[in-house]
Copies of this chain bind each other. A is one copy, B any other.
Amino acid sequence: MTATRGAWPRPEDFAAPPGPAQRTAWSESDRVARPARIGRLRARFAQAGIDAYFGVRREHMRYLTGFTLAEGEEKSAGNSGQFLVAGDEVVILADSRYTIQARREAPEARMFEAYGNLPERWPEIVGSVGARRIGVEAGFVSHAAWGRLAAAAPDIELVPVEGWIEADRAVKEPAELERVSAACAVADRALATLLPDIRAEVTEAELALRLEWLMRTGGAEALAFDVACLSGPEAALPHGAPGDRPVLDRSVLLFDFGAQVEGYRSDMTRTLFVGEPSARDLEVYEVVARAQAAAIDAVEEAVRGGGEMPSGRAVDAIARAVVDDAGHGVHFGHSTGHGIGLATHEAPSLGKAAAETPLPSPTVFSVEPGVYLDGEMGVRIEDLIALDAPAGRVERLTRFPSEVTVVGA
């Protein structure tokens, strides 16, 4: 791919936000899918020698039970939403602030009222399902909380478990992919709507807030993460925050942003040019675009070939080789991509240290190589790719073009 220049996309080029009927259908899909999700979890019990599973991660609550906490709400929710999956029932903890919500969202579960005094109630709740060995989300329960549960019921064994539900969640149901795709369209439309507002002198923070507003009034119930809007040298910070800095003329402008639609998230990055690009900036852009294309092409070829899918590590290596060959290897410090769904970053990972097992299907992940020249500029291009190898599908869910886009004229 070379850095061609296209016409500006328009908001109406992208799918309209989902209506109430679609949203209700997704909610119903989740309800129907939950028994199978719980079944997959229970199928792991025997091998690990456990008879129940104690979960605390907010994405897992929603995936398995329907109980929903907003991002960050777990910090003030105490034990509410934490759950115990036993052989034949699911129990949800909730204090008085959350009992009505839990009954609405997770009607299939039994409710257990606990008020931040879980260790005290632990023997009772565990006894009520007859469990003796309990798998516990060791990556999300604090060391201190673990110790308190262990001390509260010394005859109950706590077995550290990591990555089970994460592995299941990497494989997406059709209704999950539809929501990621809908979240991509909300973000695509928002950026297309913003384009005419971009010009030198508007600040990064103003553009970031406007882009957020467009997503949140355009079908997103929340952001996937805080909008990054970084101009010129600031774009060299792969995790920079927008500032009260005016956008620079004749410079790059990097947007990294995503929407959340019915719980599922999108994530995209576009690096635009404010005014005529310099030859150097165009050259960097082209390297990044070629690296991204090479990675996606490799996945497409593997699907066409019908053989084994490449691993996340292999796809990362393909993108990295293009950047290396252009002499920018040291300017590409992060991973090539990550899975996405209820969390912005989830399995599968595409990076130097990622698994060497084939990518799962159906799944969805970002491909987002970047080149960062400290103190000068940075370019990243990020799209979400849906992969379903058995169905022969590799689809770019991010529809906003990645051709060179010049704004601010």
Chain A residues close to B by CB (< 8 Å): 70-73, 75-77, 95-98, 100-101, 116-117, 136, 138-147, 160, 162, 209, 213, 216-217, 225-226, 236-241, 333-334, 343-345, 353, 374
Contact = CB atoms under 8 A, between A and B. Distances in A.
Most buried by B among A139, A143, A217, A236: A143
Contacts of A138: 142-144, 147
Given A71-B72, A76-B344, A101 B142 contact: no
A101 B240 contact: yes
Nearest to A138: B144
Contact of A213 (B160, B213, B237, B344): B213
Contacts of A237: 97, 100-101
A248 to B, nearest CB: 18
Contacts of A73: 225-226, 239
A268 B324 CA distance: 53
A333 B113 CA distance: 12
Given A139-B145, A142-B140, A160-B143, A345 B100 contact: no
Given A75-B344, A116-B353, 9 more contacts: A72-B225, A77-B239, A98-B239, A100-B374, A101-B237, A138-B142, A144-B160, A147-B160, A209-B217
Contacts of A374: 100
Nearest to A101: B237
A206 to B, nearest CB: 9
Contact of A334 (B96, B160, B344): B96
Contacts of A116: 353
A76 B225 CA distance: 10
16 contacts: A73-B239, A75-B343, A75-B344, A76-B345, A96-B238, A97-B238, A97-B239, A97-B333, A97-B334, A98-B239, A116-B353, A117-B353, A138-B144, A139-B143, A139-B145, A142-B142
A71 B73 CA distance: 11
A53 to B, nearest CB: 15
A147 B141 CA distance: 12
A243 to B, nearest CB: 10
Contacts of A217: 209
A353 B120 CA distance: 14
Contacts of A209: 216-217
A303 to B, nearest CB: 29
Nearest to A77: B239
Nearest to A221: B205
A338 B353 CA distance: 43
A143 B144 CA distance: 8
Contacts of A72: 71-72, 225
A73 B97 CA distance: 26
A240 B147 CA distance: 32
Contacts of A343: 75
A70 B226 contact: yes
B141 A142 contact: yes
A139 B236 CA distance: 35
A226 B140 CA distance: 23
Contacts of A213: 213
Contacts of A344: 75-76
Contacts of A101: 237, 239-240
Contacts of A238: 96-97
A190 to B, nearest CB: 14
